[in-house]
Amino acid sequence: MKVPARAPSSSGDTEARVGVDEERTTPVELFFDLVFVYAITQMAHLVSAHPTPVGFARCAVVLATVWYAWICFAWLTNNVGVGDGVVRVGVLAAAGASFLVALAVPHALDSEVLLFVVAYLVVRLLHVVLYAYGTRRAPAAHRNVLAIAPTFVLGPAALFALPWLPEGWRLPYLLVALAFDVSSPYVSGVAELPVRPAHFAERFALFVIITLGESIVSIGVGAGARPHGAVLIAVALAFLLAVLLWWAYFDVVSTAAERRLGRAARAERAILARDAYTYIHYVIVAGIVGFAVGCKKLVADPTQQLATAGAVALCGGVAIYLLGHALFRLRMTRSIGRHHLAGAAASAALIFVSPRIPALAVAGLLAVILAAAAAWERLERAGRRRRHQAEVVADTR
């Protein structure tokens, strides 16, 4: 599918011509993404089984591990594409292995650790093989892939020690192995990897919206078969919160980031993609996961106070989501999103208020915070536009 052409950027780099004859996200990629979103939604079961600080930490590390596997394939299909039959079959095989990873997620560090490790290694090995194959006719990109490949193999392979470690040691060991795994894009760099900006930004935007959609599923599950009375009000508020989270990303952030990515020269574009999308987007997705868990708790018993774990998930999830937006903006535009930071702080503060008020009231306050942040962003944007127009008028005089 082709998109209408847009004007090229001033950089002269043909890759910076966002959307000019650029293939957008394909059905194969969407299918692959749906499997990974299922893996991410499985995190709710992991937290529910252990609603403790250790349980939340376990969820964060397992989520980061799964997220990084998805990231690797996002880069692969952006650089290589899925038109080649070998790549397409390999991506579908990786989707099958990813489904096994997803099934193992709730018990990834206990009873299903071996299934998790084996399936995860298959996913990551397929990525390295397909990346090397797909870039074989692009020497610079191929060298870059080979430079970052060792940790992509050794990191996941090191996880084979997990089943033989005491359960208490598995979480810190996974964290160390993951840190080693993700280090190579910084150590070896990614400057030689081409990035198609429109496709790259769209892929991440679609992943965010699919993950938000899964949070709506959590709302329905929490409401049960026959919602009525206060539960219906809670469902309406939870849906409004999901809409406001969607608004926060898609009203300004996603389109502005895509334009910034398109204006950058080749090497800078790859570095921006690495920092802002590969790593900072993890914070955004982690916030959505927490929000989904919290929504399920909210609609299950809206007239009572949220338990500590529910409040941390709901309010903390929104706070982390907004913090991710602030980091994303800072990296892409070198400007501070005060509305995001203020909203994150206010949302986090609600964790301490939630034991004293009903869950419905907490949801209402979160809606006010998100709506205020959105209005603040709109006003800020309008102010910048007015200042720009005034500068243009002054320059013409």
Rg over CA atoms, the chain:
22
Instruction: Find the helix packing angle between 197-223 and 254-263, rounded to 10°.
Output: 160
Domain ranges of the chain: 21-194, 196-397
User: What is the CA angle 181-94-111, rounded to 5?
Assistant: 70
What Å distances lie between residue 17 and 203, 262, 309, CA to CA?
Answer: 17, 6, 46
Helix or strand or coil: residue 221?
helix
**CB-based contact 208:288 (threshold 8 Å):** yes
| Structural tokens at position 273 | 């993609």
Q: Give me the pLDDT at residue 337, please.
A: 87
Q: Does domain 196-397 have CATH number 3.30.70?
A: no
Q: Give me the pLDDT at residue 23, please.
A: 63
Helical ranges in the chain per DSSP H? 27-41, 43-49, 53-79, 85-104, 113-134, 139-158, 167-181, 184-187, 197-223, 230-248, 254-263, 266-272, 280-300, 308-333, 338-353, 359-396
User: Cα(255)–Cα(248) distance, rounded to whole angstroms?
Assistant: 12
User: Cα(128)–Cα(130) distance, rounded to whole angstroms?
Assistant: 6
Task: Please state the pTM of the whole predicted model.
Answer: 0.89
Q: Look at residues 110, 111, 73, 68 and name the one whose alpha carbon lies nearest to residue 92.
A: 73
User: What is the CA angle 209-281-95, rounded to 5?
Assistant: 65
Helix or strand or coil: residue 20?
coil
Q: What is the pLDDT of residues 47-68, one digit of tens each?
A: 877 788 888 999 999 999 999 9
| Residues whose CB is less than 8 angstroms from the CB of residue 222 and which lie 6 or more positions away in sequence, other chains included | 295, 296, 297, 298, 299, 300
Helix or strand or coil: residue 161?
helix
Q: Mark the ranges of the chain whose per-residue pLDDT is less than 70.
A: 1-23, 225-226, 382-397
